[in-house]
């Protein structure tokens, strides 16, 4: 990459692209104009433009479950919603009205029933897409939080998470949201049942019912569970779980930041959707992100991709996109059912900078793997400590520079000689201190982390995943692998409870079950 930069002084201008709410520097990647031509040709050969049209027009791209993945519909602003099929437009408008009215009630501190008290704490019970996206957004938009309520997220079936959350809360002022598209998820319902017992220890059953809301595509099941009719918020089959923060599953976000800010989040994502549909491939931010990622995975054989937000409030961003990317594109067959002969989803990992610099960046600098990275950073901060923001940004840019440019043995050697170190010692140390460079990175910048810019950032990554799925010719919208885990989990549970035998299972799993049972 040193050669590429030395050869072209306009490299930054050539690879710096702007889109709604975001600007992206692709120049520190192993790219030439030929690479871009070839990658966009690959996208054209995959009929990407037609597929983007199909996605954003609600076509049934999820061919195994025979449904659309129409999350972009949820982001179309009210005044433009007439471009949607009427039934869908009406459903979205109705759920928005319901979310808004519930937000008004909670934020005005109106008790939910005559003898009730104002709600001060909201606990979202959900997992996967019914947790990660809302939890990430709620934390990212901390500066917008309403003072009246605190939002908590409990996902794990490990009861310690629920217990540690509830130990500082009061039943009278706590509202639970059961967030489950399928209304069947073991973890969520274990937590919901424990939450009900916790409430019922202080409140009557009738009062307890007022302390639950539910976001689900199975409203009839929610009613059977005792959720009051106006506390059931529908969502639909055509919204995938990992793309559901834009639907009623976003209710905790709206409680945390207010419904007006939730709408701004949707609007920012919609701006990116419009760009995705209209910008030429080589200027299209999600398309370029997808192609550059794919370039490394399939042509440089990389297996992982680091997401490094230089914004502490985006701490959960890599977690959310672990699910979006790896659950969507962790697939081994094409839409035709034939095996893929190429790598699909990379391992997504990362945590906020600068923390990661003191953890795994050593491996990025001097390890043996090529690891593409995304550095994500705001030009401005919400924090009053402005100088610290300059340090943060300086660290971000410095890492991209050091990882790309490196420092060869001769440079290191000369530096040590300049410091007065003797030649033998300098020669001995030089290989240890040299950094090969050439680690590629993309830098994604927004002005300030607002609902709009966050909406655009999330949509950027969702569409990146879509682009890669299209080129790999896989269905990005099912998750049969996870389903198998759920089935076996139920079987093993009944074995642990002594209700069924583990006979017929492999010796390892039988041994583990027996070991557990002998220690109860």
Active site residues: 327, 358, 486
DSSP one-letter string for 443-459: EEEESS--HHHHHHHHH
The least distance separating ligand F6P from the CB of residue 86, rounded to whole angstroms, comes to 27
Site residues (CB under 6 A) for ligand F6P, limited to 324-383? 327
Nearest Cα to Cα of residue 329 among 475, 461, 463: 475
Dihedral sign for Cα 114, 116, 117, 119, please.
negative
Q: Burial-class residue 425 by CB neighbours within 10 Å (0-12, 13-18, 19+).
A: exposed
Q: Choose the binding region for ligand F6P from 122-130, 339-347, 363-371, 423-431 (rule: CB under 6 A).
A: 122-130
Number of chain residues interacting with ligand F6P (CB under 6 A) = 14
Bridge partners (DSSP) listed for residue 193: none
State yes or no: residue 129 binds ligand F6P (CB under 6 A).
yes
The least distance separating ligand F6P from the CB of residue 185, rounded to whole angstroms, comes to 3
Pairing between β-strand 441-446 and β-strand 22-25 as defined by DSSP bridges: antiparallel
* Site string (241-270) toward ligand F6P, x via CB under 6 A: xx----------------------------
Which of 19, 20, 128, 293 is in the footprint of ligand F6P by CB under 6 A?
128
State yes or no: residue 130 binds ligand F6P (CB under 6 A).
yes
State yes or no: residue 479 binds ligand F6P (CB under 6 A).
yes
State yes or no: residue 21 binds ligand F6P (CB under 6 A).
no
State yes or no: residue 191 binds ligand F6P (CB under 6 A).
no
Q: Choose the binding region for ligand F6P from 3-11, 57-65, 124-132, 423-431 (rule: CB under 6 A).
A: 124-132
| Calculated CA dihedral for residues 136, 142, 148, 153, nearest 10 degrees | 20
Which of 47, 110, 182, 278 is in the footprint of ligand F6P by CB under 6 A?
182
Based on CB atoms, which residue is closest to ligand F6P, 129 or 290? 129
The least distance separating ligand F6P from the CB of residue 186, rounded to whole angstroms, comes to 9
285, two tokens: 């931010």
The least distance separating ligand F6P from the CB of residue 130, rounded to whole angstroms, comes to 4
What CA–CA distances, in Å, run from 348 to 30, 374, 399? 20, 11, 19
Based on CB atoms, which residue is closest to ligand F6P, 128 or 318? 128
Q: Choose the binding region for ligand F6P from 178-186, 192-200, 417-425, 434-442 (rule: CB under 6 A).
A: 178-186
The least distance separating ligand F6P from the CB of residue 243, rounded to whole angstroms, comes to 9
Based on CB atoms, which residue is closest to ligand F6P, 215 or 444? 215
What CA–CA distances, in Å, run from 62 to 111, 269, 394? 42, 21, 43
Based on CB atoms, which residue is closest to ligand F6P, 189 or 397? 189
DSSP one-letter string for 169-230: --GGGEEEEEE-SSS--HHHHHHHHHHHHHHHTTS-HHHHHTTEEEEES-HHHHHHTT--GG
What CA–CA distances, in Å, run from 391 to 314, 408, 442? 17, 26, 19
- How far the first Cα of the chain sits from its last, in Å, is 59
Return the DSSP state at 108. Answer: T
State yes or no: residue 185 binds ligand F6P (CB under 6 A).
yes
Q: Burial-class residue 312 by CB neighbours within 10 Å (0-12, 13-18, 19+).
A: middle
Q: Give the whole-angstrom CA distance, residue 103 versus residue 401.
A: 45
* Alpha helix stretches (DSSP H) within 332-450: 361-366, 386-405, 409-418, 423-433
Based on CB atoms, which residue is closest to ligand F6P, 188 or 322? 188
Q: How far is CA 160 from the centre of its chain?
A: 24
Q: Report helix, strand or coil for 16.
A: strand
Based on CB atoms, which residue is closest to ligand F6P, 327 or 452? 327
Which of 98, 180, 209, 261 is in the footprint of ligand F6P by CB under 6 A?
180
Nearest Cα to Cα of residue 61 among 400, 508, 474: 474
Q: Choose the binding region for ligand F6P from 3-11, 180-188, 405-413, 456-464 (rule: CB under 6 A).
A: 180-188
Q: Give the whole-angstrom CA distance, residue 363 versus residue 451.
A: 34
Based on CB atoms, which residue is closest to ligand F6P, 155 or 284? 155
State yes or no: residue 233 binds ligand F6P (CB under 6 A).
no
Q: Give the whole-angstrom CA distance, residue 401 versus residue 405.
A: 6
The least distance separating ligand F6P from the CB of residue 456, rounded to whole angstroms, comes to 22
What CA–CA distances, in Å, run from 359 to 240, 467, 493? 34, 31, 37
The least distance separating ligand F6P from the CB of residue 218, rounded to whole angstroms, comes to 9
Q: Choose the binding region for ligand F6P from 75-83, 128-136, 220-228, 283-291 (rule: CB under 6 A).
A: 128-136
Residue with tokens 């990212």: 140
**Taking a C-beta distance cutoff of 8 angstroms, is the pair 297, 343 a contact?**
yes
Based on CB atoms, which residue is closest to ligand F6P, 40 or 62? 62
Based on CB atoms, which residue is closest to ligand F6P, 185 or 381? 185
Q: Choose the binding region for ligand F6P from 144-152, 182-190, 304-312, 432-440 (rule: CB under 6 A).
A: 182-190
Give the residues lining the site for ligand F6P (CB under 6 A). Answer: 127-130, 180-182, 185, 188, 241-242, 327, 479, 482
């Amino acid at each position: 990459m040193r050669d590429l930069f030395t050869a072209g002084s306009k490299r930054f201008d050539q690879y710096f692209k702007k889109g709604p709410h975001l600007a992206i520097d692709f120049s520190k990647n192993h790219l030439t104009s030929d690479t871009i031509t070839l990658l966009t040709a690959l996208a054209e050969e995959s009929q990407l433009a037609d597929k983007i049209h199909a996605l954003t027009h609600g076509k049934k791209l999820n061919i195994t479950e025979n449904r659309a993945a129409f999350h972009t519909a949820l982001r179309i602003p009210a005044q433009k919603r007439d471009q949607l099929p009427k039934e869908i437009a009406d459903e979205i408008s109705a759920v928005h009205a319901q979310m808004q009215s519930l937000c008004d009630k909670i934020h005005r501190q109106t008790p939910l029933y005559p003898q009730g008290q104002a709600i001060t704490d909201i606990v979202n019970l959900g997992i996967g897409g019914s947790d990660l996206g809302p939890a990430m957004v709620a934390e990212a938009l901390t500066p917008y939080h309403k003072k009246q309520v605190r939002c908590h997220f409990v996902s794990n079936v490990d009861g310690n998470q629920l217990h540690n959350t509830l130990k500082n809360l009061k039943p009278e002022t706590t509202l639970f949201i059961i967030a489950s598209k399928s209304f069947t998820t073991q973890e969520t319902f274990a937590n919901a049942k424990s939450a009900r017992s916790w409430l019922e220890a202080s409140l009557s059953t009738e009062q307890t019912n007022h302390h639950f809301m539910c976001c689900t595509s199975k409203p009839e099941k929610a009613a059977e569970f005792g959720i009051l009719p106006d506390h059931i918020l529908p969502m639909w089959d055509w919204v995938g779980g990992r793309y559901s923060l834009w639907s009623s599953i976003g209710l905790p976000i709206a409680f945390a930041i207010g419904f007006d800010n939730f709408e701004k989040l949707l609007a920012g994502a919609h701006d990116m959707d419009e760009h995705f549909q209209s910008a030429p491939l080589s200027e299209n931010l999600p398309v370029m992100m997808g192609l550059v990622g794919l370039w490394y995975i399939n042509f440089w054989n990389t297996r992982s991709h680091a997401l490094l937000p230089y914004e502490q409030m985006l701490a959960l961003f890599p977690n959310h996109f672990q699910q979006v990317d790896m659950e969507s594109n962790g697939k081994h067959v094409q839409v035709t059912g034939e095996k893929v002969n190429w790598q699909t989803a990379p391992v997504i990992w990362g945590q906020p900078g600068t923390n990661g610099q003191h953890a795994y960046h050593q491996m990025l600098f001097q390890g043996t793997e090529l690891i593409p990275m995304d550095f994500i950073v705001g030009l401005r901060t919400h924090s009053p400590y402005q100088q610290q923001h300059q340090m943060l940004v300086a660290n971000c840019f410095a890492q991209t520079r050091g990882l790309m440019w490196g420092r060869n043995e001769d440079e290191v050697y000369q530096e040590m000689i300049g410091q007065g170190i003797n030649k033998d010692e300098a020669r001995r140390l030089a290989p240890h201190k040299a950094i090969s460079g050439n680690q590629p990175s993309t830098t994604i910048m927004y002005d300030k982390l607002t609902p709009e810019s966050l909406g655009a950032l999330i949509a950027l990554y969702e569409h990146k995943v879509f682009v890669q799925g299209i080129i790999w010719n896989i269905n990005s919208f099912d998750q049969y692998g996870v389903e198998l885990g759920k089935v076996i989990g139920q079987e093993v549970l009944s074995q642990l409870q002594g209700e069924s035998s583990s006979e017929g299972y492999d010796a390892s799993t039988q041994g583990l079950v027996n070991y557990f049972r002998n220690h109860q």
